[in-house]
A and B are shown apart, each in its own frame.
Chain A
């Protein structure tokens, strides 16, 4: 942008001033907030990650490129943010190691903000994961990436309506070109600092009997594990008979959710392959 043009609103926005924004790469000592990047495979999470942190992580156009967590950071107005790029997943039901890494991080890592990166040209399928993430955490926002591809396919996405329907902020981006990243950064920092409260909408189409069952279990869970942030999600997994979550309840490890103890990748792998 030319400097001799009268400053627009855009330039008044704090996110515009690069002086405030420092891309820290991997060099970050202590951090104030943890940001997780989740999303379906191949929606450009790693590209968003690189844009946020200034890192140049290898990106590739195929699903499953990121199999471990990549970490980096940025600092904005003297606050340090750690960004964790999670493997791409279609669900959080943890059937494979990469899915388990993603799920365990959102669940046990307790990120301050979870950014769900979705492919704007394949919104319907991507929303499945969005709903599942919103079951686990309230502090989420949607990065509507690949807007250029949606346009190429003659699709128009009404991001305002989507934001209203989901109850979370929606930021349209073209991460490869860096478009929308300043706004995304600003939104992340606002949610992290609690300046922006998010009230995500839950799934509505579930039958009444299920609603009642969830309600009963949630009450029980909340008495035994006071302060459990995602009792509803745990209740659903228990109703589905998820062995792993049952074990977490039996051993009481679920209580660690509040303290944020993280199982390491090695442990996870060991569990998967004996």
Chain B
């Protein structure tokens, strides 16, 4: 009791002294700090201002943060990054899939045959788990190994704060924090990383907005879906010379739509659930530094590419097993997967998707990376194509984009389905890792639930209206 008293005594004394000192104490302290800092800095630093060199940093900044050129420069840089990623990833991707799926897979099958593995274990492990892993590696590794170093080079150069600077006025208008541009950029790599990055935002209100809207940044698990579907359904609309560029533009279109969703939802939240004004902050525009290319490639491969890939592989294992199981366990005349697809189909068709896509998204909750292989496998299963694939519940990589296209088209897919899948890939719940991170950062079930369901509802609504528009305009 006595100790408690003496503690309270201190606080009382402090508040008495505070009154004595007046209300401008904080200013006095700050002033003292600044005066001393200025005095010392002046004594220590001499500036050779006679020799005014051409200031490269200022000149670059004048272009990349200019009112007129800022946004076009951002678009051009983004197009270059995606275009290089899309066109550069094709060759290594098909090489990897040839190795892992065309060579190693039959080999494993043969080994299992020779040692006489039970059929269900052989199916579960090799057709389910191994193929899921192989697919994830061959589809994800090449684009990530290109995209991440490119992105990291831009980051190392000092471009990100300039993007934040350009977008700041927009974020301010929506009632969100300008640094959200930085966390958004991190989200393009991984939403879980983006959510952790929101720690740089001071105000809890704006931090929550940044957390909830981070999902509107396409993460690397969703890039392959976007790229493949854009190539099949949109790139094919134009002559083949332009196909690559047009596909890249379509993906950028989705990215921009995602940014628009970020602004819209930020605006909505700061007027309803998270009312408040945007707070003021200072953002340093650091000097441009020549990126250290080799080191950047090394760290981005180790820190980002391999870690993300490892995570995908880990999650592909149970997903592969699940797919194989639900396709092989039958209930009545059909397998569990077929029952689910039939059940989900009416709603799927209503929003311009289908039962296969919806089921694939349920299976892919742990990792977005496995959506496309799941979709292909379920499509083959539900329409009973016997000349492609390897059988029920076997994930496979079709050798070429056109083979994938023919499977999807015989599954009844149209331009509308493709477009809606791209939209839905952007607007759906974050993967389970991202959700867990959101929960860890907010410690709130409510905000985690909002982060999960808000995008799904938006996705269904947008797809529904796009479908209505297609039918209305007679495009379908």
Contacts and interface: CB of A to CB of B under 8 A. Distances in A.
Given A162-B40, A216-B13, A250-B7, A60 B21 contact: no
Given A165-B40, A238-B10, A154 B51 contact: yes
Interface in B286-300: 286-289, 292, 295, 298-300
Interface string A88-128: 00100001111101000000000000000000010111011
Nearest to A159: B44
Interface stretch (A28-36, A75-83, A205-213): A205-213
B197 interface: yes
A161 B44 contact: yes
B8 interface: yes
B33 A154 contact: no
Interface residues of B, dominant DSSP: helix
A233 to B, nearest CB: 11
Nearest to A94: B202
A156 B38 CA distance: 16
Contact of A274 (B11, B41, B43, B204): B204
Given A62-B182, A246-B11, A67 B199 contact: yes
Nearest to A64: B200
Contacts of A98: 199-200
A149 B14 CA distance: 44
Interface residues of B, number: 80
Contacts of A10: none
A64 B182 contact: yes
A224 interface: yes
A95 B26 CA distance: 15
B76 interface: no
Given A97-B199, A127-B40, A240-B25, A213 B20 contact: yes
B363 to A, nearest CB: 31
Interface in A211-238: 213, 216-217, 220-221, 223-224, 235-236, 238
A41 B287 contact: no
Contact of B17 (A154, A203, A239, A273): A239
Nearest to B302: A56
A252 B2 CA distance: 12
A220 B7 CA distance: 9
A55 B285 CA distance: 27
A272 B21 contact: no
A56 B45 CA distance: 32
A121 B288 CA distance: 13
Interface in A115-160: 121, 123-125, 127-128, 130-132, 149, 152-159
Contacts of A270: 443
A239 B18 contact: yes
A100 to B, nearest CB: 9
A203 B439 CA distance: 43
B3 A63 contact: no
Given A61-B158, A161-B43, A205 B36 contact: yes
A95 B158 CA distance: 25
B441 A273 contact: yes
A97 B35 CA distance: 28
Nearest to B38: A124
Given A67-B196, A220-B13, A239-B25, A62 B286 contact: yes
B6 interface: yes
Given A97-B207, A165-B40, A176-B289, 18 more contacts: A61-B156, A61-B157, A62-B158, A62-B182, A64-B197, A64-B200, A96-B199, A98-B199, A127-B41, A154-B47, A154-B52, A165-B44, A210-B21, A210-B28, A220-B9, A220-B10, A249-B7, A273-B207
Interface of A: 41-42, 56-64, 67-68, 87, 90, 95-99, 101, 121, 123-125, 127-128, 130-132, 149, 152-159, 161-162, 165-166, 176, 203-207, 209-210, 213, 216-217, 220-221, 223-224, 235-236, 238-241, 246, 249-250, 252, 266, 269-270, 272-274
24 contacts: A58-B304, A62-B286, A63-B200, A63-B283, A87-B199, A96-B202, A98-B199, A101-B199, A123-B44, A132-B33, A152-B287, A154-B51, A154-B53, A155-B46, A165-B40, A204-B36, A205-B32, A205-B35, A205-B36, A206-B29, A213-B20, A221-B10, A266-B443, A273-B442
